[in-house]
Amino acid sequence: MATIEQEHRRSELVIALGALRVRLADACVAAGRPARTVTMIAVTKTHPAVDVATLVQLGIRDVGENRDQEAAVKRGEVQQLLTATAEAEQELRWHFVGRLQSRKCRSVAGYAHAVHSVDRIGLVALLANAVDLALRRPLEIFVQVSLDGDPARGGAFGSAVFSIADAVAERPELRLRGVMAVAPLGVEPQDAFARLAEVSTALSAQHPGADAISAGMSTDFEAAIGHGSTHVRIGSALLGRRTPEFR
């Protein structure tokens, strides 16, 4: 039996997800794009496995995390929670969206369906070598782009984006999907996402098919969808505030 607290949390998630689906649909209409061209990734960092399991029961299939240690543990917990339910067979896709340290590549490649934060060429071989081709499809890769060149916030800048993409495309264990960015502080999201769309166009000219754009978070995903985002990464608008807030 679920406790009152569990029922309440489930209701919160039902309401937040419903509201988000309306916002997403409205943004797609405004952009003149079919809703199926946008994947919503639920970014569940700092929130417990039971929330992920509830979201899966509500139809979410894409889950994002930004820290390897937290993601690896949570994935096991979610699998256990879902074992007893009809959703157990459904495929959940885990997206790694955070800063990626070299020493975490092996672990992340073990459970991630996609890595959105590849911003250094050195990560490419580490990830590719860690993919077990016998068991898995290629690991999907988004090259993280810095839109302002500030190294503190992650992302590759300028021509580095293209050399990383070339290196990814050479490895059969990886599948180059496209670009990812976080709108820099102090820049209008519209301007940031327009810039990212230009990078995406240039990249997919060199790598046909690598046309996905991972952009847009709780407060700015409408602008991102207006500029062609195919993967929005939604945390707080779905799951509520995180503590500590800076994560």
Which residues here bind ligand PLP, judged by CB under 6 A?
43, 45, 66, 97-98, 182, 217-218, 233-237
Beta bridge partners of 40: 232
Residue (174 or 238) nearer to ligand PLP, CB: 238
Residue (78 or 182) nearer to ligand PLP, CB: 182
Residues in the chain: 247
Q: Which residue is nearest to ligand PLP (CB)?
A: 235
* Contact assessment for residue 112 and residue 67, using Cβ atoms and an 8 Å cutoff: no
Minimum distance of ligand PLP from residue 41's CB (angstroms): 8
Residue (63 or 131) nearer to ligand PLP, CB: 63
Minimum distance of ligand PLP from residue 34's CB (angstroms): 23
* Contact assessment for residue 61 and residue 89, using Cβ atoms and an 8 Å cutoff: no
Q: Any residues with CB less than 8 A from the CB of 75 and at least 6 apart, and which?
A: 94, 111
Residue (72 or 169) nearer to ligand PLP, CB: 72
Residue (99 or 207) nearer to ligand PLP, CB: 99
Minimum distance of ligand PLP from residue 219's CB (angstroms): 6
Closest CA to 68 of 134, 137, 117: 117
Minimum distance of ligand PLP from residue 43's CB (angstroms): 4
Residue (139 or 173) nearer to ligand PLP, CB: 139
Integer angstrom CA distances of residue 28 from 16, 60, 147, 190: 18, 18, 24, 15
Cα Rg for the chain, rounded, in angstroms? 18
Buried b (16+ CB within 10 A) or exposed e, 219-235: ebbbbbbbbbbbbbbbb
Minimum distance of ligand PLP from residue 121's CB (angstroms): 20
Minimum distance of ligand PLP from residue 233's CB (angstroms): 4
Q: Any residues with CB less than 8 A from the CB of 26 and at least 6 apart, and which?
A: 222
